[in-house]
């Protein structure tokens, strides 16, 4: 990826190196014209180039532009589609847009074998890839995705180093858990770090015996993470099902002209009820102003929404009472 990005000519002189291929040759001066590994600015330049490419192609390639802008991690594009046709369209847009910048996409992977069937085998993750194989998985920043059954997994191998505050923090940093699947485990390590701070230990000082025993047991049990398997698709469905069944039902609907209803106050976060749409599609709003009548009852409020400010009848809003208790 780096070698496909040309550095601006005025900046290429900052990448001059002295080199010779053998002791018998004279030292020669070389100027590196592309983004170079090991230079502190290289990761920024690479990502900034991709973002610029996404910006320039947002009108002609909307799906690819969004995928590059929001779902790209260094040089991996990781996103999901609602249908096979959408996935094929995204692939086509990504190929054309990135090829315009000199980037050729490879290592395609998917949980849909039909999608992969249209891609040359040499451009897939493995040439002889079998989605029935239990050994096939793709590691994304420490989190493993197994396309054969569409599951997330972990495989963490603790390093064999002396127990110090530095090594404990280093081990914790190696666990990438953006979705919080193993929060109890990472919370335990963070709590242990906090305890080490209270003991006033230096970074490379060996902790007391009781802490050492706990840490050794923790490292011993880390390998059990390989037994955890989280179904990706069911995880998504489960989240929205629980949101609808366990949380949405706790929201308070305003009763029309009810003096005993909890008061509406500026700053409240509310849902705007719409009988024509399912609850999960109701818009969010925040109360800016209330407009009580002569009898003191608030019948109309001014809301701030993604579409701007608008008036709304108080009987059509549902407050997040659960959050405001």
Q: List 313's β-bridge partners, or say none.
A: 300
The average confidence (pLDDT) of the chain is: 81
Which of 221, 211, 219, 198 is CA-nearest to residue 164? Answer: 211
Residue 100 tokens read as 């315009």
pLDDT tens figures, 59-76? 999 999 999 999 988 788
Interhelix angle 42-56/84-100, nearest 10 degrees: 110
Return the structure tokens found at 235: 């995880």
Q: So what's the pLDDT on residue 130?
A: 30
Orientation of helix 209-222 relative to helix 183-198, angle to 10° = 160
- The least confident of 1-10, 46-55, 144-153, 270-279 is 270-279
Confidence of residue 131 (pLDDT cuts 50, 70, 90): very low
pLDDT in tens, 154-212: 777 777 888 888 888 888 777 777 777 788 888 888 888 888 888 888 899 989 998 89
pLDDT at 280: 61
- Is the predicted pLDDT of residue 238 greater than 80, yes or no? no
Among residues of the chain, what percentage have pLDDT more than 90?
30
Mean predicted confidence (pLDDT) in 41-50: 93
Does the pLDDT at position 278 exceed 70? no
Residue located via tokens 């799906």: 63
Range with top average pLDDT, 87-91, 131-135, 146-150, 177-181: 87-91
The answer to whether the CB of 258 falls within 8 A of the CB of 265 is no
Residue 233, burial from CB neighbour count under 10 angstroms (0-12, 13-18, 19+): exposed
pLDDT at 249 exceeding the cut of 80 = no
**What mean pLDDT comes out for the span 95-107?**
94
- Which has more pLDDT, 284 or 157? 284
Let me know: does 206 contact 163? Beta carbons within 8 Å.
yes
The predicted model gives 143-153 an average pLDDT of 80
Least trusted range by pLDDT, from 34-43, 85-94, 287-296: 287-296
Q: What is the tens place of the pLDDT at every residue in 109-129? A: 888 889 999 899 888 875 333
Task: Please tell me the distance from the alpha carbon of residue 35 to that of residue 39, in angstroms, as a whole number.
Answer: 8
Domain residue ranges of the chain, discontinuous segments joined by +: 1-105, 165-227, 251-324
Q: Of 11, 100, 125, nearest to 50 (Cα)?
A: 100
Query: Residue 235's pLDDT band (boundaries 50, 70, 90)?
Result: low
Q: What is the 3-state secondary structure (H, E, C) of the chain?
A: CHHHCECCHHHHHHHEEEECCCCCCCCEEEECCECCCCCCCHHHHHHHHHHHHHHHCCCCCHHHHHHHHHCEECCEECCCCCCHHHHHHHHHHHHHHHHHCCCCCCCECCCCHHHHHCCCHHHECCCCCCCCCCCCCEEECCEEEECCCCEEECCCCCCCCCCCHHHHHHHHHCCCCCCCCCHHHHHHHHHHHHHHHHCCCCCCCCCCHHHHHHHHHHHHHHHHHHHCEEEHHHHHHHHHHHHHHHHHHHCEECCCCCCCCCCCCCCCEEEECCCCCCHHHCEEEEEEEEEECCCCCEEEEEEEECCEEEEEEHHHEEECHHHHC
The pLDDT of residue 321: 47
Alpha-carbon torsion, ordered 243, 186, 155, 81, to 10 deg: 30
| CATH number for the domain formed by residue range(s) 251-324 | 2.30.30.140
């Amino acid at each position: 990826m780096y070698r496909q990005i040309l550095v601006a000519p005025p900046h290429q002189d900052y990448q001059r190196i002295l080199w010779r291929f053998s002791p018998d040759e004279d030292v020669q001066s070389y100027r590196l014209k592309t983004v170079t590994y090991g230079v502190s600015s290289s990761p920024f330049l690479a990502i900034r180039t991709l973002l610029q490419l996404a910006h320039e192609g947002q009108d002609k390639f909307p799906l690819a532009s969004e995928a590059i802008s929001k779902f790209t991690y260094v040089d991996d594009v990781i996103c999901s589609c609602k249908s096979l046709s959408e996935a094929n369209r995204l692939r086509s847009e990504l190929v054309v847009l990135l090829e315009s910048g000199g980037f050729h996409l490879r290592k395609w992977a998917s949980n849909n074998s039909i999608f992969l069937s249209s891609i040359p085998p040499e451009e897939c993750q493995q040439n002889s890839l079998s989605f029935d194989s239990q050994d096939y998985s793709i590691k994304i920043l420490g989190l493993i995705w197994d396309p054969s059954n569409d599951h997330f997994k972990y495989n963490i191998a603790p390093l064999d180093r002396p127990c110090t505050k530095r090594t404990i923090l280093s081990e914790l940093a190696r666990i990438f858990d953006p979705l919080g699947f193993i929060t109890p485990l990472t919370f335990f390590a963070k709590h242990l770090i906090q305890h080490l701070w209270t003991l006033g230990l230096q970074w490379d000082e060996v902790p007391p015996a009781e802490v050492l025993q706990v840490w050794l047991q923790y490292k011993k049990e880390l390998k059990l993470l390989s037994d955890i398997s989280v179904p990706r698709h069911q995880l998504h469905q489960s989240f929205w099902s629980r949101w609808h069944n366990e949380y949405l039902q706790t929201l308070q609907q305003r009763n029309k002209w009810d003096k005993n209803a909890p008061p509406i106050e500026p700053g409240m976060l509310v849902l705007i009820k719409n009988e024509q749409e399912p609850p999960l599609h109701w818009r969010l709003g925040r109360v800016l102003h209330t407009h009580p009548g002569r009898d003191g009852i608030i019948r109309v409020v001014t809301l701030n929404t993604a579409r701007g400010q608008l008036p709304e009848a108080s009987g059509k809003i549902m407050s997040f009472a659960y959050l405001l208790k």
